[in-house]
Chains A and B, each alone.
Chain A
Amino acid sequence: MKLFEIKINAGFFASGLLALAVLGGGCRQAGQAGKPVIGASMLSLQSEFIVKVKDAMEAEASDRQIRLIVNDAQRAAVTQVQQVESFIAQGVDAIILNPCEMEASSPAVQKARAAGIPIINVNSETTAEPDGFVGSRDEESAEIALQHIASLLRGKGNLVIMHGYMGQAAQLKRAAATKTLLADFPEITILAEQTAEWDRAKAMSLMENWIQSYGNRIDAVFAQNDEMGMGALQALEQAGLKDKVIVVSIDAIDDALRAVKDGRLDATVYQDADAQGRQAVQMALDFIQKRDSVEERSVYIPFRLVTRGNVEEFLK
């Protein structure tokens, strides 16, 4: 009886392997003849922005008759490397990588290149150089936001800054750009800076505490993302201070766009998830069709300032 079970299991296993092999072979063939296959490993499908990039990739893939396999790395670089390994084993035609970390996700890039499968990084970079890159320069977002704050303040006033999760690439780059840019405005003083971990509830508490200790002295708030910007905004509104304080944040999430439209949030900075996702798929297809003769290997999609004047074109 037991032997029988084992036999069945072994048979099952073998046919599974066979099916996998056929499937793998099929993929390769499909890549040359019919529908190309692209494997994508995304940082986290719990992040609203990354979900938007993924949606754009899927839309572009279906427009262009490409089969797109999307995996969620759940912020773990190890998982990401494993996902890319299995893409290589499946014999996909190209890989799109939305890196979890600069350093720790690099092996994924190296392995794909060693296997001769074109790999394109989307949204953020790795230390290892991929075949192509589609994304935005994170520093630019902070520069645009602060430039706007400085012009609203006419170059003079007290600023508080809300940081994202300390040590993450976006936080570090936005903080570095903040410092560089503020050097040009000696009369803008940073009253306080603190992390609210990208989180709206935490930002609300932090802003309440700042209002308590600095009161009327705060002229402007710069939050490194919209979630925190919205939290700061709500705290200021509850304290009846919103009319006196400028709030600018980054990402252009739906809630923030609505707040800009209603004249509550002064500005947000739009990062183009749609263009990033679509162009990543286009570039992958380019590499599949033209191999090494692809000319444009890095595409930088500009950030854009969203104010009440132009918010309509961003609202769907």
Chain B
Amino acid sequence: MNMNEPLPLVSKLAKRNYLRKYGMLTAFLLICLVLSLLTPGFFSIQNTTIILRQVSINGILAIGVTFVIISGGIDLSLGSVVAFTGVVAALFAHPGEYPLIIALGMAILAGLAIGGVNGLAVTRGKVAPFIVTLGMMTIARGLALLASDGRPVTGLSDSFNYIGGGSVLGVPIPVLIFGAIILLSSFILNKTRLGRYLYAVGGNEKAAYASGIRVNSVKVLSYMICSGLAAIAGIVLASRITTGQPNAGLAYELDAIAAVVIGGTSLSGGIGSIGGTVLGVLLIGVINNGLDLLNVSSYYQQIIKGAIIIAAALIDRKK
């Protein structure tokens, strides 16, 4: 396969992607403008740092699920995987017991294992991704409660807590991790064979299979990337709140999937980009932050958030 010669179809899709991206970018800039005018504290380096730190967990999750959605799947187990891997990390992060790398490694291994099971059930078991990951949502939550005995795992080491709380040259570490994941996953999706295979499998599975792509392996990998990233989000969350919380991450998958869809990734697979997802994540983050700054009642907040998500998507489709 030669990657330097885009097919006509691909370039057409790319054009449509550009329109989608710019539609959303306009909406995003408009919302930022309105919020800057309404709230004095909004447009500042300090608040930008705060927003970036707040979105980093949802951002890491959204990028993970972008891989799965592009390949034509869905992952509803994200929030529970965040809780489970956060608990696993916390269990190995008590001061003076294990080196930090063990805590991180065990959590990521747990995430990869869950992704592997999801992927195998979808490919070998031929069960709909919606069902598999819905089941896994409950299983992972149960595992989190089992591993933690239903109580938050507290008393974690300073080095572990530094991941979520510390910063390097004024940039919070979660933001640096988020940034690194953006770069790495854009590279994988745009520049590697795996990336092209993911789009191909999501776009037309039969054609992908006919052209010799090992569809099942590609799909399993997408679930493993997704859950592996969820484990990183789990580590960041546990570290940020300095506890492994078995109840953490409730409904996180919904915010992640919302960000992906706002970013123009098609839920039917084959279309989508990391840039779009990042924009979706930022949009949700800016709305959350702005409405808090304006002290909008929490009842209205829910309505406004939902309406803005739908409106943003509408502007996008009109273009």
Task: Give chain A's interface residues, CB within 8 Å of chain B.
Answer: 45-48, 51, 163, 166, 192, 194-195, 199-201, 204-206, 208-210, 212-213, 215, 230-231, 234, 238, 253-255, 258
The residue in chain B whose Cβ has the minimal distance to the Cβ of A235 is B50
A254 and B245 CA atoms in complex are apart in Å by 13
Contact: A51 with B246, CB < 8 Å? Answer: no
| Residues in chain B near residue A231, CB distance under 8 A | 241
Decide if the interface of chain A is mainly helix, strand, loop or mixed: helix
Q: Which of B41, B50, B150 contacts A46 (CB 8 A)?
A: B150
Contact: B50 with A208, CB < 8 Å? Answer: yes
Task: Give chain B's interface residues, CB within 8 Å of chain A.
Answer: 39, 41, 44, 46-47, 50, 53-54, 57, 145, 150-152, 154-155, 165, 237, 240-243, 245-248, 250, 288-289, 292-295, 298-299
Closest chain-B Cβ to A274's Cβ sits at a distance in Å of 15
Q: Which of B150, B237, B240, B299 contacts A48 (CB 8 A)?
A: B150
A198 and B154 CA atoms in complex are apart in Å by 17
| Residues in chain A near residue B240, CB distance under 8 A | 201, 204
| Residues in chain A near residue B289, CB distance under 8 A | 205, 209, 212
| Residues in chain B near residue A255, CB distance under 8 A | 152, 154, 242-243
Contact: A205 with B41, CB < 8 Å? Answer: no
A268 and B298 CA atoms in complex are apart in Å by 25
| Residues in chain B near residue A205, CB distance under 8 A | 54, 288-289, 292
Contact: B295 with A213, CB < 8 Å? Answer: yes
Contact: A45 with B150, CB < 8 Å? Answer: yes
The residue in chain B whose Cβ has the minimal distance to the Cβ of A231 is B241
Given A163-B298, A201-B240, A209-B292, 7 new contacts (CB under 8 A): A46-B145, A194-B292, A200-B243, A204-B241, A208-B54, A212-B47, A254-B154
Closest chain-B Cβ to A260's Cβ sits at a distance in Å of 14
Given known contacts A200-B245, A204-B241, A205-B288, is B293 in contact with A234 (CB within 8 Å)? no
A249 and B50 CA atoms in complex are apart in Å by 24
| Residues in chain B near residue A234, CB distance under 8 A | 165, 241-242
| Residues in chain A near residue B246, CB distance under 8 A | 46
Contact: A200 with B241, CB < 8 Å? Answer: yes
| Residues in chain A near residue B155, CB distance under 8 A | 258
A47 and B243 CA atoms in complex are apart in Å by 15
Contact: B288 with A166, CB < 8 Å? Answer: no
The residue in chain B whose Cβ has the minimal distance to the Cβ of A255 is B154
A48 and B245 CA atoms in complex are apart in Å by 10
Q: Which of B39, B237, B294, B298 contacts A201 (CB 8 A)?
A: B237
| Residues in chain A near residue B150, CB distance under 8 A | 45-46, 48, 51
Closest chain-B Cβ to A73's Cβ sits at a distance in Å of 15
| Residues in chain B near residue A204, CB distance under 8 A | 240-241
8 contacts between A and B (CB under 8 A): A46-B145, A163-B298, A200-B241, A209-B50, A213-B41, A253-B152, A254-B154, A255-B243
Q: Which of A201, A212, A230 contacts B46 (CB 8 A)?
A: A212
A258 and B47 CA atoms in complex are apart in Å by 31
Q: Which of A48, A163, A209 contacts B293 (CB 8 A)?
A: A209
A208 and B289 CA atoms in complex are apart in Å by 9
Contact: A212 with B152, CB < 8 Å? Answer: no
Contact: A213 with B165, CB < 8 Å? Answer: no
Contact: B299 with A166, CB < 8 Å? Answer: yes
| Residues in chain A near residue B292, CB distance under 8 A | 194, 205-206, 209-210, 213
Between B50, B53, B57, B288, the greatest number of chain A beta carbons within 10 A of the residue's beta carbon is seen for: B50
| Residues in chain B near residue A201, CB distance under 8 A | 57, 237, 240-241, 248
Contact: B151 with A51, CB < 8 Å? Answer: yes
The residue in chain A whose Cβ has the minimal distance to the Cβ of B297 is A194
Closest chain-A Cβ to B244's Cβ sits at a distance in Å of 11
A201 and B249 CA atoms in complex are apart in Å by 9
A258 and B53 CA atoms in complex are apart in Å by 26
Closest chain-B Cβ to A160's Cβ sits at a distance in Å of 10
Contact: A213 with B243, CB < 8 Å? Answer: no
| Residues in chain B near residue A212, CB distance under 8 A | 41, 44, 46-47, 50, 289, 293
A215 and B237 CA atoms in complex are apart in Å by 25
A230 and B242 CA atoms in complex are apart in Å by 10
| Residues in chain B near residue A166, CB distance under 8 A | 298-299
Given known contacts A201-B240, A208-B50, is B151 in contact with A213 (CB within 8 Å)? no
Between A206, A213, A215, the greatest number of chain B beta carbons within 10 A of the residue's beta carbon is seen for: A213
Contact: B293 with A213, CB < 8 Å? Answer: yes
A213 and B41 CA atoms in complex are apart in Å by 6
